[in-house]
Structure 1
Amino acid sequence: MADITASMVKDLRDRTGAGMMDCKKALNETNGDMEAGVDWLRTKGLAAAAKKAGRTAAEGLVGVAVAGNRGAVVEVNSETDFVAKNEQFQEFVRNVTAIALASGDDIAAIASAPYAGSDGSVQDKLTHNVATIGENQSLRRAKLVEVGQGVVVSYTHNATVPGLGKIGVLVGLESEADASALEALGRQIAMHIAAANPLALNEDGLDAEIVERERNIAREKAIASGKTPEIAEKMIEGGVRKYRQENSLLTQVFVIDGKSKVADVVAAAAKTAGKPITVTEFVRFQLGEGIDRDEKDFAAEVAAAAGKA
């Protein structure tokens, strides 16, 4: 039997939203396997469907910038939200996003690129900021989106200042249609992406391992229901089909009207514009997703709850 620590319980609770004691039981049942623990909670109906990205657990800013048919999004982390309001930090994120837009999204290349207005690199400037602001910071990731003909549209959710916020989205639209019409459509789709958090552009783009995991969860639920094998198989396939549709951008229900599929919205816009429109790519960065943040009193909280059980 694995030694189940308070930190492990915390991690599982953060990922699933389930209660502490349920998380502890799940880890005991799965011998400390975190992924199996998530699945155990879900088969018991104690956790919501898990997605690739974890909950936000770090501070800083996500920056977005667009120039013509090219856009960049960058995440720079800090220890506290207070630093995200610092003008020096904001200027750094804004400048780094501009560098990514011009030179590409390789983090190592961005870090070694010259930093405008200084004698050093981006990394040198970051080191200077850590020393002067007095808090650890890190350049975490960047992504570029580009189309041959059309537009790349950006959207920043929970913006601290224009172009900087907690969620940054880029969406590429390939088309010969009027740029202003594409911009309007792209902004709505980008807002949808920020809200709905699709995992892939279409169903074929979903991670095969994640889809298979959903199939196994659906199978466990079907078995537990006591249905006949024929009905159980239909339940399994129905569950997987629903998961694929709900996590693929083009088959998601458009949050703007609450009824149309995103693909149908794009098709309607193309008909109005008189030109084909293709969503080629999107990227969504949520600040701190997948990063754990320590909670100093959590061990005591778990111990107290365990004592009352």
Structure 2
Amino acid sequence: MANITAAMVKDLREKTDAGMMDCKKALVATDGDFEKAVVWLREKGLAKAAKKAGVVAAEGLCNYVVSGNKVVLFELNSQTDFVAQNAKFIALLDQVGQIIASSNATNTEEALAIDVNGKTLETVIMEASGTIGEKISLRRVQVLTKTDAQVFGAYKHMGGRIVTVSVLAGNDEVVAKDVAMHVAALAPKYVSKDDIPADVVAKEKEVILAAALNENAASPKPKPENIIAERIVPGRLEKNLKEICLLSQAFVKNPDLTVEQYVKGAKSEVVTFVRLEVGEGIEKVETDFAAEVAAQAAAAAK
């Protein structure tokens, strides 16, 4: 039996983009023969899926699974929106959610390593990629927990393009659901101003000051710079920070109230929330379809 080293596993992973454990299994099964291991992975459908590894998977769906006092939120990506509506993709979405919810995983890395009947969840997803015909990837996993004195509010928009979960102290699930819907619509970043990191506040203040000074310089009657810094900037900063905080936003169902006023009126209190939207932060590759067809036609004509 050949000695399977970490370097061999790394080389095979770079060649095939298959999972680390699958690369090791392939090398063990082929007694360390690199080329046979590549074939072994292809036969298992793992290398086939890996060929798609360079493609951007920016579509897909988000989902949540509630299990007692725990809720798992996650994003499963595909290359196209069409595949995200595929019955096999939807079944995989449900399967992945149940697997994570039944485990102790708290993040994406831990979730991908979950054992599923002798395979990692990463392998299960890669095998599904080969069957479905597109790169499928588990991108984000977040877990929220609550006490018995708290409630979850969950909301899914456009079948899972956006999912949100709120945690409220109190026992009013309707209010919690309303807050989750509000979070989906207005996308706050923090519960309150107290939750905003000092460096974020400082950066925002810096940006506002620079903009205000530029406006002042272009004004026919410029004000002294200390007036800008001491009177104008604080007001703008306060307004901007309120706009990104859940409690200070105008409640989407009744703009005459802030979210804080609505929740307090229902004898509840917002503890936290999570909002996931498909493709956030992914730089999508824009394809010129006409140019692509023309290039293929030109190549075929040669």
Q: TM-score, normalised by structure 2?
A: 0.70
Unaligned runs of 5+ in 2: 1-56, 217-221, 292-302
- Deviation at residue 99 of structure 1 after TM alignment: 2.6
Counterpart of 1:68, as a letter, is G
Out of 283, 289, 297, which is 1:292 matched to?
283
Deviations 1:114-166 (A, max 9, x none): 33xx653311211111111111111101111111122112100111xxxxx10
Q: Is the 8 A contact 1:66 1:153 kept in 2?
A: no
Counterpart of 1:188, as a letter, is D
Alignment of 1:113 with 2:114, yes or no, is yes
CA gap 1:100/1:234 in 2 versus in 1, 3 angstroms: farther
Q: How does 1:147-296 map to 2 (within 5 A)?
A: 147-148=146-147, 149-159=149-159, 165-175=160-170, 177=171, 182-224=172-214, 225=216, 226-232=222-228, 233-270=230-267, 277-296=268-287
Deviations 1:97-122 (A, max 9, x none): 2233232322222112233xx65331
Q: Please give the secondary structure, in 2, of the residue aligned with 1:108.
A: helix
Q: Tell me which structure has the larger Cα radius of gyration.
A: 2
Counterpart of 1:70, as a letter, is K
Work out the CA distance in 1 between the residues paired with 2:152 and 2:68.
7
Larger relative contact order (C-alpha < 8 A, sep ≥ 6)? 1
Q: Please give the secondary structure, in 1, of the residue aligned with 2:156.
A: strand
Q: Is the 8 A contact 1:74 1:96 kept in 2?
A: no
Corresponding position of 1:24: none
**What RMSD over aligned residues (CA atoms) do the two structures have, in Å?**
2.0
- Deviation at residue 192 of structure 1 after TM alignment: 0.4
Work out the CA distance in 1 between the residues paired with 2:106 and 2:161.
19
Corresponding position of 1:20: none
- Deviation at residue 296 of structure 1 after TM alignment: 3.7
Counterpart of 1:153, as a letter, is G
Corresponding position of 1:37: none
Unaligned runs of 5+ in 1: 1-56, 160-164, 271-276, 301-309
Q: Is the 8 A contact 1:68 1:152 kept in 2?
A: no
Deviations 1:17-38 (A, max 9, x none): xxxxxxxxxxxxxxxxxxxxxx
Work out the CA distance in 2 between the residues paired with 1:199 and 1:288.
17
Work out the CA distance in 2 between the residues paired with 1:86 and 1:114.
26
Q: TM-score, normalised by structure 1?
A: 0.68
Aligned residue pair count? 225
In the TM superposition, structure 1's runs of 4+ consecutive aligned residues that sit over 3 Å from their partners are none
Deviations 1:62-98 (A, max 9, x none): 0112233321111011100011111111111112222
Counterpart of 2:281, as a letter, is G
Q: Is the 8 A contact 2:107 2:143 kept in 1?
A: no
Corresponding position of 2:143: 144
- Deviation at residue 206 of structure 1 after TM alignment: 1.6
- Deviation at residue 230 of structure 1 after TM alignment: 4.7
- Deviation at residue 283 of structure 1 after TM alignment: 0.3
